Chain A
């Protein structure tokens, strides 16, 4: 049985191959005749039986066949093909490995001959010789066919079993990978927290005054540390989801609270970047994983801010169809920006991890490479909804987060979070 392992990583292959399996079977070219003889010599039913059992079984079958042959002689007169012949072939195959089988066939031919010659005579006719020759030749052919069919079946079954085992092993390895990444990331986080924490102690001048250059350098350390921490947190979340260990914490809450918190958090960043963050916040009771919903929205909004140089990021919520509290279907949260957007080709790999787009802004604003991948995973596997991307015709991106789940109570007047003196960058549709 052979398995082809396609893997660019030699380590990965080694873990799949047991030490004993390492040498691949040599494939040698043999002529058809040589192959025939080799097969003949090695003919043996691939039954998982120890040798003594095989021999005893072969002799028992053969003995029984002789007895039957003797008893039914009047009926089977002249032809041993009904009982004696199959039994002989089967016991020959049980004995296997050439000589045993040849002996068995020749022996059975001899017995056949004795049975068929009721009055012992030394005169052997040509007919009789021809008949025994046919008997042995056809016996050989039948042995070959039976053995080959049987072997194929057994091999197929074994191959199936091996594949199952390999598959189980792969799944184990994959799980191990996710667990390794999760615990590794946890270990990475401890020293990283020291780096970030002490950068803050220094930049707060708790340990003494700083000059401008020191302050700038410290800001770089802090930024790099936070970037790394974000990456590690994303990796932990992704590996948790992939290992099936992400716990879903259902909570009842008002969507408006979550969105207001996010607005507080992100508006500061928007202002720093000279952008406008506008948020329509309807009051809507929900029952889902609050923290993960917040994380999805945070990722979408911060992406919007990151990849927009001027203009705004606009978040609005479309409540499910229906009126009042009687609504069914998906709640849609739409995050739009007036940024550089993502072109048609790139949009296809938008939710793939570590895909980088070749635009100046995408190169400048280093993301973790996991943000949208994780957001998609969270949206589909934790929130049980989905996330879609649409380019805006007038430029920029539009992400739609669709969430099913129970919605209790909807209030009719939405709050709007937006700076007061801004022109509306988005035409309402």
Chain B
């Protein structure tokens, strides 16, 4: 089973994201802030990381850069907000492989993620 780490401060959002992921057969783990997320990436090997850009403690972009410093290969998919226009470009520049936009569409999220992973 492929393991996914979701770094997302909002528990409701995490729960929502985890539904389609679990149904698609992924093992889902949760980090509720950037620091824990980093620790978990370092301690475990995940197949990919879903990373909320708007984290309260460490900026999501910073988390992405830090992950890239140590874990060169793990695909990172940013979760960006529709309203923040510049976030997508910044996320890609920080080393993310792709992005999904909030509001999260539970029906198409798997297809989007798999498309990003295929490109990688």
Where the two chains meet, the residues of A that have a C-beta atom closer than 8 Å to any C-beta of B are 186, 189-190, 193-194, 196-198, 200-201, 204, 206-207, 229, 236, 247
The 4 A-B residue pairs with the shortest CB-CB distance, nearest first, are A193-B103, A197-B16, A194-B12, A201-B19
Complex CA–CA separation, A204 to B109 (angstroms)? 14
If A201-B16, A206-B23 touch, does A193 touch B83 (CB 8 Å cutoff)? no
Does B13 lie at the interface of the complex (its beta carbon under 8 Å from any beta carbon of A)? yes
Is B102's beta carbon under 8 Å from chain A? yes
List residues of chain B with CB under 8 Å of any chain A CB: 10, 12-13, 16, 19-20, 23, 81, 83, 85, 102-104, 106-107
Would you call A197 and B106 a contact (CB within 8 A)?
yes
The binding surface of chain A is classed by DSSP as helix
Nearest chain B CB to A408 CB, angstrom units: 25
Complex contacts, B103 vs chain A, CB 8 Å? 189, 193, 196-197, 229
A247 to B23 CA separation, bound complex (whole angstroms): 38
With A and B bound together, what is the CA distance between A426 and B14 in angstroms? Answer: 50
B10 close to A200 (CB less than 8 A): no
Q: Which residues of A contact B106 (CB under 8 A)?
A: 197, 200-201, 204
B residues less than 8 Å from A200 (CB atoms): 106-107
Chain A: CB-nearest residue to B15: A198
By beta carbon, the residue of chain B nearest A200 is: B106
Are A190 and B107 closer than 8 Å at their CB atoms? no
Contacts of B10 in A (CB 8 A): 190
Q: How far apart sit A402 and B33, CA to CA, in the bound complex (Å)?
A: 48
Given contacts A193-B104, A198-B12, A247-B85, 4 further A-B contacts (CB under 8 A): A193-B13, A200-B106, A201-B19, A207-B19
Distance (Å) between the CB of B43 and the closest chain A CB?
A: 30
A197 — which chain B residues lie within 8 A by C-beta? 16, 103-104, 106
Enumerate 17 A-B pairs (CB-CB under 8 Å) in ascending A order. A186-B83, A189-B83, A189-B103, A190-B10, A193-B103, A193-B104, A194-B13, A196-B103, A197-B16, A197-B103, A198-B16, A200-B107, A201-B16, A201-B106, A204-B106, A206-B20, A207-B19
Nearest CB in chain A to that of B107: its residue: A200
Bound Cα distance from A200 to B107, whole angstroms: 8
